[in-house]
Structure 1
Amino acid sequence: MARCDELAAVSEEPGCLTRRYLTPPAKIVHQRLAGWMTDASLTPRVDNAGNLIGRLSGRGTRRVLLIGSHLDTVPNAGKYDGVLGVLMGLAVAERLRGEDLPFHLDVVGFSEEEGVRFSKPYLGCSALSGDFLPEWLDRRDAAGVSMRQAIADFGLDPDAVGSCIYDPADVLGFIEPHLEQGPVLEHAKLPVGMVSGIAGQSRLRVAFHGAAAHAGTTPMDRRQDALLCAAQFVTAVRARALSVEGLRATVGSVRVTPNAPNVVAAAAELSLDVRHAEDAQRESAVRDLIAAGHEAAASEGARFEVLEETSQSAVLMDHKLSSLLRESIEECGGPPTSILSGAGHDAVIMAGRFPVSMLFLRHPGAVSHHPDERVEAEDVAVGIDVLTRFVLRLARQLRSTA
């Protein structure tokens, strides 16, 4: 918990926690974590995507178990999202040094998950899984810096991101400890729970194109108001989400042009985030909302456009790893409550290549991506105990089948 506090003070902005991909604070975090890893008998390294990896070596093996989460944050973040999972992985490795493990234990601090700097999430885990696309290197941040330049400025080789890939034949699995970011465990009065799956997600950028006009001289019935279209669209998004159990649909960002108080809006660009545990439900909602956008634009003589659309399918946790995690939770005295994650995690991408499992921790107040983010030390202690038992169970299982 003290280490969480220490890393939370490493930020791009005074007075709040903001730490984006490969910014100078990320290097400071690497230095401190690498020191703690070395003290715990791990061998740290930074790959060419900026992921920090500390290895507790097993004996005579290529097999490896990955444990960890991400080190970047959203702007004005809480101190536990992502980082807590990395530090819990380190705590497990500290407990297990001296154990004769039949596999390597790699504690991973992914360099990027939030998608803040380059409007592209999951950069760190995509590099490990082999899903990193070379064209992403040309993306630019708000200051005009390309991802290629950011990687080079960090002292890494952007043309060698391919060297980060783990061979799926060597990877026993990836387990990610994380705050629940929801209220289920708090309501159940349980310190930890296991994730059953992660909801699929669609992210879109859409725009309405109308015509700028004088707010005082243009009659109301002769306007092509892009912001009015956007308002109709936001209402349609909420109505569609309420129509299906478990559907989440959100417009979280709106940019208006020219954004002046006495000018009818010429354009409005919006984000759209749609999530559901069943991909068919999510995809149907996206189709309906795109149609609603066109309908809203037509009603005002404007034009609707989808600027960008990406999606991630729903993910199920690996059965074998989840069984070991369930047994470890039971051994620690708790019922193995299963929870569907509505938030995306590094495990989403890792699941495309490797077996994955997730351990959730109780999140008092369930306020995440915010300075009020909380976790109790006692719950973290339970989580570390569960994860340690999980690793030892996996080791015993492998020895028994060798």
Structure 2
Amino acid sequence: MQTVSSVLDSISDVGRDATRGGYSRGVFTSPELSLREWFSTEATARGLSVETDRNGILWAWWDATDSRDGALVTGSHLDSVPGGGAFDGPLGVASALVAVDLLRERGVRPNRSLAVTVFPEEEGSRFGVSCLGSRLLTGTLDPDRVRALTDADGTTFADAARAAGLDPTHLGRDEQAIRRIGDFVELHVEQGRGLIDLDAAVAIGSTMLGHGRWRLSITGQGNHAGTTLMADRADPMIAAAQVVLAARKIAAEQDGARATVGRLQPVPGGTNVIASRVDLWLDVRHEEDAVTASLIERIHGQAQKICAFEGCRATLTEESRSGTVHFDGALQRTLGLALGRSFPGTPTLPTGAGHDAGILGTVAPTAMLFVRNPTGISHSPEEFVERDDADAGATALADVLEDLL
């Protein structure tokens, strides 16, 4: 039987980013499409029946009855942030495949069907909306809006989906898929230091921090860098720099808040050109949804003041927003009982990261398992999981699936 690490080793060369380090596996790009093919091959080799639904979600089925309704579902994603680590997403997929191996080795005979899933565009790194696949499935995104989303090269989501073999006219809420999800359990690398500090290999997720993404477009006057005097400028880059600092200051004043500008794009982007526009993307998070709303309002207000002083204009556009999620209490207790035999005293941890399990929680009971990351770093090449911990995670997932089956 394969270990989790050996499964991951088989894709270790897919999507390596020579410039950023780590991996860049944007949805429907060549690396991510290769990983989708890899998943189908791995699942088929285990006797699972693989299909792609109308929103591009992969389902690998272990059928136990004539009906797939109310199935037990597990899985994660294969896309990455630019220059991301090897475990964010793929660990959950590889662990689910190994968990199937373990269940078969134990002689488990399911009393309901089991599906291993892969959700597309969880990170939102190509088209700007995180958990896009699960949002489409649950109907929390307008399909027309999704079809019109564009990447950095101007390719629409509709065109990218079509090139990947999907019919974009069929995107949207999928009642059949919703009926199939009886319970959803997602395993994920921990994206923080909780398990390090607790000296534990695995944990059960309790809550997922509310968060959103906003695009702030700052418009000024494009001009020549050499002929335009400093006093004559309406430079949106100067305003953008001040907004970045203002966002940090505002978030630091609110206990438990996070505000990040991880992407900033000047237009036209020439070295000897004063930009005519600068787009920056804000990621704002807090456990209280009202506080998140207040934070973005304060940041936007400060941006308008800064832009007025610099002779620029600021326009804020919400790209996505999710409230704080409390994972299903009964399912958490079931996980605790299942893990009590092999992992006594399994801790419960909140997460500040977003996950498909949080989106699916609006239509079905969902839960999460986290596996220790000894660096405490994620969304970076330094993200890591020890081989023994990866196997412990797969064992924990198999224990949970066995009880739920």
Which of 68, 80, 88 is residue 81 of structure 1 equivalent to? 88
Deviation track 1:324-361 (CA, whole Å, cap 9, x = no partner) reads 11222322234232222111111121112111111011
Q: Is the 8 A contact 1:193 1:337 kept in 2?
A: yes
Q: Is the 8 A contact 1:128 1:166 kept in 2?
A: no
Where does residue 206 of structure 2 map in the other structure? 196
* Structure 2 unaligned regions, length at least 5: none
Which range is displaced more, 151-160 or 374-383? Answer: 151-160
CA distance in 2, matches of 1:40, 1:258: 50
Alignment of 1:166-205 (within 5 A): 166-205=176-215
Deviation at 1:64, TM superposition (A): 0.2
Inter-CA distance 258–3: structure 2 relative to 1 (3 Å threshold): same
CA distance in 2, matches of 1:263, 1:109: 43
Alignment of 1:150-299 (within 5 A): 150-162=160-172, 165-213=175-223, 220-260=230-270, 264-299=274-309
Deviation at 1:265, TM superposition (A): 4.3
Which of 56, 78, 84 is residue 71 of structure 1 equivalent to? 78
Name the SS for the 2:126 alignment partner.
Answer: coil
Name the SS for the 1:58 alignment partner.
Answer: coil
Deviation at 1:221, TM superposition (A): 4.5
Deviation at 1:185, TM superposition (A): 0.6
Which range is displaced more, 333-342 or 257-266? Answer: 257-266
Alignment of 1:10-159 (within 5 A): 10-11=14-15, 17-61=23-67, 62-97=69-104, 98-135=107-144, 136-159=146-169
CA distance in 2, matches of 1:138, 1:259: 24
Q: Is the 8 A contact 2:27 2:33 kept in 1?
A: no
CA distance in 1, matches of 2:175, 2:35: 23
CA distance in 1, matches of 2:351, 2:192: 9
Name the SS for the 1:4 alignment partner.
Answer: helix
Q: Is the 8 A contact 2:64 2:111 kept in 1?
A: yes
Q: Is the 8 A contact 2:40 2:50 kept in 1?
A: yes
One-letter amino acid of the counterpart of residue 37, structure 2 = Q
One-letter amino acid of the counterpart of residue 108, structure 2 = E
Which of 289, 296, 321 is residue 331 of structure 2 equivalent to? 321
Inter-CA distance 38–368: structure 2 relative to 1 (3 Å threshold): same
CA distance in 1, matches of 2:286, 2:153: 34
Q: Is the 8 A contact 1:48 1:151 kept in 2?
A: no
One-letter amino acid of the counterpart of residue 123, structure 1 = L
Q: Is the 8 A contact 1:93 1:105 kept in 2?
A: no
Number of aligned residues: 395
Where does residue 395 of structure 2 map in the other structure? 385
- TM-score after normalising by structure 2: 0.90
Where does residue 302 of structure 1 map in the other structure? 312
Deviation at 1:263, TM superposition (A): 5.0
- TM-score after normalising by structure 1: 0.90
Deviation at 1:297, TM superposition (A): 1.2
CA distance in 2, matches of 1:266, 1:184: 44
Which range is displaced more, 140-149 or 196-205? Answer: 140-149
RMSD across aligned C-alpha pairs, in angstroms?
A: 2.3
Deviation track 1:4-28 (CA, whole Å, cap 9, x = no partner) reads 1212322275685222212233333
Inter-CA distance 216–13: structure 2 relative to 1 (3 Å threshold): closer
Where does residue 8 of structure 1 map in the other structure? 12
One-letter amino acid of the counterpart of residue 310, structure 1 = S
Tell me if 1:355 matches 2:365: yes
Inter-CA distance 301–347: structure 2 relative to 1 (3 Å threshold): same
CA distance in 1, matches of 2:81, 2:365: 27
Inter-CA distance 94–130: structure 2 relative to 1 (3 Å threshold): farther
One-letter amino acid of the counterpart of residue 89, structure 2 = G
One-letter amino acid of the counterpart of residue 79, structure 2 = D
Identity of aligned residues (%): 34
